[in-house]
């Protein structure tokens, strides 16, 4: 390590720089920086950072690691300015967060930080972040834009300018494509949100059979069980430790490794979990279990839009009827439901379209989203642990989800107040 900004003769080029009140409070970070960069990094105090970032040598850095602890929260606005200045100079910013409140962390991320890791750093976390920073920042290429369809999200959402948009996804019958939709919605939102430095998180709350880990080829970490079994005591660090990053795109809370009773969490825990996620992410996509549980109502009340996936068959129709009846009888916010018909009939399938109309009429619902059947391409993407954006970018299903993500982006950029 070298103290910046003093020039260092005969020394390895400085590739990165830590920015902190006192780097000695982060001795494990020092160790990791040395392991990754040898002498090729420097350290700078918060007070010196604004001047340093204006200097030409700062432009050559690969990234800065802003190390912040709970003792720094009183100065979080100034630290945010440092993050903002670094971002304006096109520098990558990694936040190292020690017992930082979700609100403070959220503030730094909104200033444009590229990533965060909790302190003490999980093994390999700094290495992974440096690797990601080595890759180009640009989003995967997108197919040419098509004119936007009628807004599938329709009725106005309440907006506040603070927390993230909560978007649960529930299949109304087994295997109707809810997880595929949730995973790809998270991916498309994260591609769209890069323009506004928005951040996306996918919570797989299908605690028993959640397949986000499979569809994204992520391990099921023990930390997820620890988190779920102790949500009341969860802090920002515990939450972050349990998340994983899919590519450089979005964060994921996978379902736990072992099959757990769905009652391991109750409405209070779920409210806490969603509040924590909303405080740090602009979009919170939730893959729900297909059964209604005692915390489904809590999720519905926290949601801005609640996607209900169905197919054109009796199973889905009957279940949709039951769900609507329950919502009505319990006085729950039915207007938040957005019905999405998966494997929807194409334009030329006139009899299929007739059946679709009859289904919508008989349930007295509007089927705002129609997701085409894309055959093996979808299953193949899932089996390979990748999203459609990566494996089948031109698939019509991907295009539909992408257009939805775009329309949701308008709501998400300023963030939205939860209905409750
Ligand atoms: N539009 C589609 N076109 C082709 N295949 C699809 C489509 N949607 C989903 N699939 C396939 O259907 C299968 C079930 O999808 P998925 O796991 O997303 O459903 P689910 O509703 O989450 O199921 P579960 O009830 O098990 O949670 C997967 O193999 C997936 O690849
Ligand atoms: Mg599923």
Residue-level pLDDT at 4: 52
Edge-to-edge strand ranges of the sheet holding 165-171 = 244-246, 250-253, 200-204, 283-287, 165-171, 306-310, 337-344, 369-372
Distance 189 CA to ligand 2 centre (A): 19
For residues 129-153, one letter each, b for 16 or more C-beta atoms within 10 angstroms of the residue's C-beta and e for the rest, the string is bbebbeeeeeeeeeeeeeeeeeebb
| Average pLDDT for the chain | 85
Find the angle CA(187)-CA(200)-CA(288) to the nearest 5 degrees: 80
Strand partners, 67: 96
Q: Whose CA is nearest to atom 11 of ligand 1?
A: 379
pLDDT given for residue 241 in this prediction: 87
Residue 216 CA, ligand 2 centroid: distance in Å: 13
Ligand 1 atom showing the smallest separation from residue 215 Cα = 17
Q: Which residues contact 242 (CB under 8 A, 6 or more apart)?
A: 221, 223, 224, 226, 227, 253
- Ion ligand 2, residue ranges at CB < 5 A: 178-179, 211
> Could you tell me what percentage of the chain is helix, strand and coil, using 3-state DSSP and rounding each to the nearest 5?
45, 15, 35
Residue 132 clears pLDDT 50, i.e. is over it: yes
Ligand having the closest approach to the CA of 290? 1
- Among the listed ranges 140-149, 187-196, 336-345, which one has the minimum average pLDDT value? 140-149
C-beta of residue 282 within 8 angstroms of C-beta of residue 193: yes
- Pick the more confident residue, 285 or 419: 285
Q: Which residues lie below 8 Å from residue 267, measured CB to CB, with a gap of 6+?
A: 294, 295, 297, 298
Does residue 153 register a pLDDT over 50?
no
Q: Are 416 and 304 in contact (CB under 8 A)?
A: yes
Question: How confident is the model over 169-204, as pLDDT tens digits?
Answer: 999 999 999 999 999 999 999 998 887 667 899 999
**With pLDDT > 70 as the criterion, what percentage of the chain qualifies?**
87
Q: How far is the CA of 177 from the centre of ligand 1 (A)?
A: 3
Q: Copy the structure tokens of residue 108.
A: 């730094």
Q: What is the pLDDT of residue 3?
A: 56
What's the start-to-end Cα distance of the chain, in Å?
48
Task: Name the band, by pLDDT with cuts 50, 70 and 90, for residue 80.
Answer: very high
Residue 297: burial class (beta carbons within 10 Å; 0-12, 13-18, 19+): middle
Which residue do the tokens 């490794």 mark?
A: 257
Q: What is the mean pLDDT of residues 113-134?
A: 85
Give how far the C-alpha of residue 310 lies from the chain's centroid of Cα atoms, to the nearest Å.
24
CA of 177 to the centre of ligand 2 (A): 7
Ligand 1 test: best mutation among 180, 292, 387, most atoms within 8 Å of CB?
A: 180
Could you report the per-residue pLDDT of 366-402, keeping only the tens digit for each? 998 999 999 999 999 999 999 999 999 999 999 999 9
2-11, 53-62, 197-206: range with highest mean pLDDT: 197-206
Q: What structural domains and CATH numbers belong to the chain? A: 2-134 (3.40.50.2300), 165-412 (3.40.50.300)
Per-residue pLDDT reduced to its tens digit, 393-404? 999 999 999 999
The pair of structure tokens assigned to 193 is 């949100």
pLDDT of the residue at 295:
95
How sure is the predictor about 11, in pLDDT bands with cuts at 50, 70 and 90? low
What is the average per-residue pLDDT within 119-147?
Answer: 64
Phi-psi region for residue 260, left (φ > 0), alpha (ψ -120 to 50) or beta?
beta
92/144 Cα distance (integer angstroms):
28
Residue 102 reports pLDDT greater than 90: no
Query: Which pLDDT does position 64 carry in this prediction?
Result: 94
Q: Region 203-209: what's the mean pLDDT? A: 95
Per-residue pLDDT for 159 more than 80? no
Pick from 332, 246, 252, 245: which is nearest to 284 by CA? 252
Query: Looking at residue 141, what is its pLDDT?
Result: 35
Q: Which residues line ligand 1 (CB under 6 A)?
A: 171, 174-180, 206, 209, 211, 290, 342-343, 371, 373-375, 378-379, 382, 397
Tell me: the pLDDT tens digits for 276-318? 999 889 999 999 999 999 999 999 999 999 999 999 999 999 9
Per-residue pLDDT averaged across 214-240, rounded?
91
Cα–Cα distance measured from residue 208 to residue 137, given in angstroms and rounded to the nearest whole number? 35
pLDDT tier at 17, thresholds 50, 70, 90 = very high
Alpha helices in 145-177 (DSSP H): none
DSSP state of 112: T
- The pLDDT score that the predictor gives to residue 418 is 42
- Tokens for 225, please give them: 């069980």
Distance CA(351)–CA(370), nearest Å, equals 16
- The predicted pLDDT at position 116 comes to 85
Q: What is the pLDDT of residue 411?
A: 64
The secondary element (H helix, E strand) that includes residue 166 is strand 165-171
Task: Of 4-8, 91-95, 105-109, give the range with the top mean pLDDT.
Answer: 91-95
């Amino acid at each position: 390590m070298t103290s910046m900004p003093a020039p260092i003769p005969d020394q390895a080029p400085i590739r990165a720089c830590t920015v902190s009140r006192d780097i000695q409070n982060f001795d494990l970070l020092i160790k990791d920086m040395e392991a990754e960069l040898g002498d090729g990094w420097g350290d700078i105090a918060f007070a010196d950072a604004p001047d340093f970032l204006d200097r030409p040598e700062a432009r050559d850095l690969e990234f800065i690691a802003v190390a912040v602890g709970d003792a720094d929260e009183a100065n979080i606005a100034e630290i945010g300015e440092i993050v903002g200045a670094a971002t304006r100079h096109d520098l990558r910013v990694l936040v190292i967060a020690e017992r930082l409140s979700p609100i403070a962390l959220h503030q730094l991320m909104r200033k444009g930080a590229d990533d965060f890791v909790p302190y003490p750093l999980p093994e390999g976390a700094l290495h992974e972040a440096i690797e990601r920073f080595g890759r180009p920042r640009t989003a995967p290429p997108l197919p040419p834009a098509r004119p936007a369809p009628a807004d599938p999200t329709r009725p106005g959402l309440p907006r506040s300018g603070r927390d993230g948009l909560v978007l649960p996804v529930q299949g109304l019958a087994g295997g109707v494509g809810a997880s595929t939709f949730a995973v790809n919605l998270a991916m498309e939102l994260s591609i769209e949100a890069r323009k506004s430095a928005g951040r996306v998180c996918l919570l797989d709350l299908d605690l028993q059979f959640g397949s986000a880990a499979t569809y994204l080829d992520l391990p099921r970490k023990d930390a997820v069980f620890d988190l779920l079994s102790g949500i009341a005591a969860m802090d920002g660090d515990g939450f972050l430790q349990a998340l994983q990053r899919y590519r450089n795109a979005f964060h994921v809370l996978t379902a736990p490794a072992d099959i757990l009773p769905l009652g391991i969490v109750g409405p209070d825990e779920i409210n806490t979990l969603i509040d924590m996620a909303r405080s740090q992410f602009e979009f919170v996509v939730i893959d729900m279990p297909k059964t209604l549980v005692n915390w489904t109502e809590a999720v519905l009340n926290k949601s801005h839009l609640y996607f209900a996936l169905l197919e054109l068959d009796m199973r889905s129709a009957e279940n949709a009827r039951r769900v609507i009846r329950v919502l009505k009888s319990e006085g729950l916010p039915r207007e938040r439901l957005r019905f999405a018909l998966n494997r929807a009939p194409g334009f030329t399938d006139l009899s299929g379209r007739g059946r679709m109309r009859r289904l919508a009429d008989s349930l007295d619902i509007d089927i705002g989203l129609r997701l085409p059947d894309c055959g093996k391409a979808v299953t193949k993407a899932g089996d390979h642990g990748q999203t459609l954006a990566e494996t089948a970018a031109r698939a019509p299903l991907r295009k539909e989800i992408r257009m939805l993500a775009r329309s949701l982006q308008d709501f998400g950029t300023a963030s939205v107040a939860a209905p409750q």
